[in-house]
Amino acid sequence: MKSTAVKEALIEVQDLTKVYGEGPAAVEALKGVSLTIYKGEFVAIMGPSGSGKSTFMHLLGCLDHPTSGSYLLSGQEVSGLSRDQLAMVRGRQIGFVFQSFNLLSRTSALENVELPMLYAGVARAARDERAQSILEKVGLAERMGHRPNELSGGQQQRVAIARALANDAPLLMADEPTGNLDSASSVEIMTLFQHLNQDNGITVIVVTHADDIAAWCSRIVTFRDGLIVDDRASKTRKARA
């Protein structure tokens, strides 16, 4: 995908570093990473644990501040923003999907999906309407009133994806989204990501250590010891289901 330089950049990272701790005990988790991700890409971030991929993910997700370097998200410099400003960026630009779903228990699927809209200040009627249409889109039209404990793992992850889509974010970040799912559900979830990426133009970044999950993506970035060691187009890309 590097040939598509005419495409608009969504994420532009320059010399990003992250150091935890101070003095002799300091650990350099990221040692100067530069990466550009364009709108509409479907990127897998791989690497063994301790490679810095989670740290990188947190920085891209605006959950943490880098120690140095610059990060442009949709052309806006976010590396120096305050906590509250980062929260606003997360709410409007980024949808998160987690390995353990992180749904609010004893709360219906519909209300879980509405959660980001509450913080974005969307009015009640609009909230309901939008949450319903997104749940229909992820195939849970019949399950809107169900609580997480009444849903299968795959269904719960689909609620989580619907929640990530709630504020129309251009970027979806998934951290081991299939780690807690069986293979059939995993295929379902990856198919959904593929659909969102190809038909809705949403940029998707998936952190995984599984090759068969990375195979769904169009580009695979590999981390090792706080640096990018490999960045290539996926050769074995799965055909559209």
Partner 1 sequence: MSFMVLVRTAWRALLRNISRSLLTMLGIIIGVGAVIASVAIGAGAQAVVLKQIESLGANLIVISPGSVTSGGVSLGSGARTSLRLDDVSAFVANVPEVAAAAPYSQTSAQVVAGGANWFTVIGGTTPAWLTVGNWSIAQGSFFTPDDVSRVTKVAVLGSTVAANLFPAGGAVGSTIIVKSVPFRVLGVLTAKGQTGFGRDQDDVVIVPITTHQERLTGQTWINTILVSASSSDTVAGVIDAGERLLRLVHHLSPIDPDDFTIRNIANVQAVRMATADTQAFLLAAVAIVSLVVGGIGIMNIMLVSVTERTREIGLRMAVGARGRDILLQFLIEALSMACAGGVIGVGMGIGVSFLVSTLAGWPTVITGASIVMGFASAALTGVVFGFYPARRAAALDPIDALRYE
Residue (61 or 226) nearer to partner 1, CB: 61
Residue number with CB closer to partner 1 (128 or 231): 128
- C-alpha torsion 186→187→189→193, nearest 10: 130
* Nearest-angstrom CA–CA distance, 79 and 66: 6
Helix 153-165, helix 109-120: angle, nearest 10: 20
Residue with smaller CB distance to partner 1, 47 or 116: 116
Nearest to 164 by CA among 206, 105, 218, 226: 206
As measured in angstroms, the least distance from the Cβ of 195 to partner 1 is 22
Task: Work out the angle between the directed axes of helices 153-165 and 124-137 (0-180°, nearest 10).
Answer: 130
Q: How far apart are CA 96 and CA 62, in angstroms?
A: 11
Q: CB of residue 104 vs partner 1: minimum separation in angstroms?
A: 6
**Choice between 165 and 228, CB closer to partner 1:** 165
User: How far apart are CB 231 and partner 1 at their closest, in Å?
Assistant: 25
If the CB atoms of residues 146 and 237 are measured against partner 1, the closer one turns out to be 146
Separation CA 222–CA 31 (nearest Å): 14
Q: Which is nearer to partner 1, 83 or 240 (CB)?
A: 83
H/E segment holding residue 93 = helix 83-93
CB of 84 to partner 1, least distance (A): 4
Which residues pair with residue 72 across a beta bridge?
A: 12, 77
Q: Smallest gap, in angstroms, from Cβ of residue 148 to partner 1? A: 12
* Minimum distance of partner 1 from residue 240's CB (angstroms): 30
Rounded Cα gap, residues 116 and 128, in angstroms:
12
Contacting residues toward partner 1, per CB under 8 A: 58, 61, 63-64, 83-84, 87-88, 90-92, 96, 98, 102, 104, 106-107, 115-116, 118-121, 163, 166-167
